[in-house]
Chains A and B, each alone.
Chain A
């Protein structure tokens, strides 16, 4: 029953999102596309429109994209066990506590 409800939720969300997006189609005028395609070479000196966008037009995006890696590494440093932590097996915290008390 729970699986059926979960599947219903997923399918229903998909159907609603698809219906809403199909009902409200907005035709974007290609201002940015035209501007970048015609001017990127004079603006940035790049021969490659992707590099021009990545390193000049959308530099903020690239800067924060580079920050993601730092966030990932900081998360790994915090959440992965350190070399000494895993010696006691999966219940390392409990065994370590008992070892600490016996040492004292």
Chain B
């Protein structure tokens, strides 16, 4: 991938995606954190967060992300998803202390959201760069 091909990406796409980037983060975490009040939750918000990887790939299709490290983060959060309910919910701690209910729901939504975000991001990057070279498209 040469420098000229990267610079050949449309400036409109680069500017628009750059402006949308913080709003995508905001929307993703909004959907995740409000999961126990409004429709949404971990899986949906995580999918929104995964669009960050897609947006970055559309603008800058270079394989400089270490997807193995992203996968390690995803596995770490998956371990937390398996450990936290086992420690808090199945032992009855959340049922016994009602003050923990809200924080528990928010924590689980956050863990699931980040795990799904990283997992879908790894999937997208693996499919995008599975030949070692990103497919550049010009809109």
Q: Which residues of B contact A55 (CB under 8 A)?
A: 36, 41, 104-105, 108-109
CA distance A55 to B74 in the complex (A): 19
Q: Which one of A5-13, A18-26, A28-36, A74-82 contacts B?
A: A74-82
* Minimum CB–CB distance for B120 against chain A, Å: 7
Contacts of B94-139 to chain A: CB distance below 8 A: 94-95, 98, 101-102, 104-105, 108-109, 112, 115-116, 119-120, 122-123, 126-127, 129-132
Q: Which residues of A contact B131 (CB under 8 A)?
A: 81, 83, 86
Q: Which one of B2-10, B53-61, B75-83 contacts A?
A: B75-83
| Contact B41 A54, beta carbon cutoff 8 Å | yes
Answer yes or no: A72 CB below 8 A from chain B CBs: yes
Answer yes or no: A67 CB below 8 A from chain B CBs: yes
Contacts of B14-68 to chain A: CB distance below 8 A: 35-39, 41, 43, 63
CA distance A81 to B109 in the complex (A): 34
Answer yes or no: A69 CB below 8 A from chain B CBs: yes
Q: Which residues of A contact B116 (CB under 8 A)?
A: 66, 69
Answer yes or no: B13 CB below 8 A from chain A CBs: no
Q: Which residues of B contact A67 (CB under 8 A)?
A: 78
Answer yes or no: B93 CB below 8 A from chain A CBs: no
Nearest chain A residue, comparing its CB with the CB of B132: A83
| Contact A66 B35, beta carbon cutoff 8 Å | no
Selected from B36, B82, B85, B122, the residue in CB contact (under 8 A) with A73 is B122
Answer yes or no: B1 CB below 8 A from chain A CBs: no
Selected from B39, B82, B89, B120, the residue in CB contact (under 8 A) with A56 is B89
Chain B residues within 8 Å of A, Cβ to Cβ: 35-39, 41, 43, 63, 71, 74-75, 78, 81-82, 85, 89-90, 94-95, 98, 101-102, 104-105, 108-109, 112, 115-116, 119-120, 122-123, 126-127, 129-132
Given contacts A47-B37, A50-B39, A59-B85, 14 further A-B contacts (CB under 8 A): A45-B98, A46-B101, A48-B35, A48-B37, A51-B36, A56-B94, A63-B85, A69-B116, A73-B119, A73-B122, A77-B71, A77-B126, A80-B130, A86-B130
6 contacts between A and B (CB under 8 A): A51-B36, A51-B109, A59-B90, A66-B78, A66-B81, A70-B75
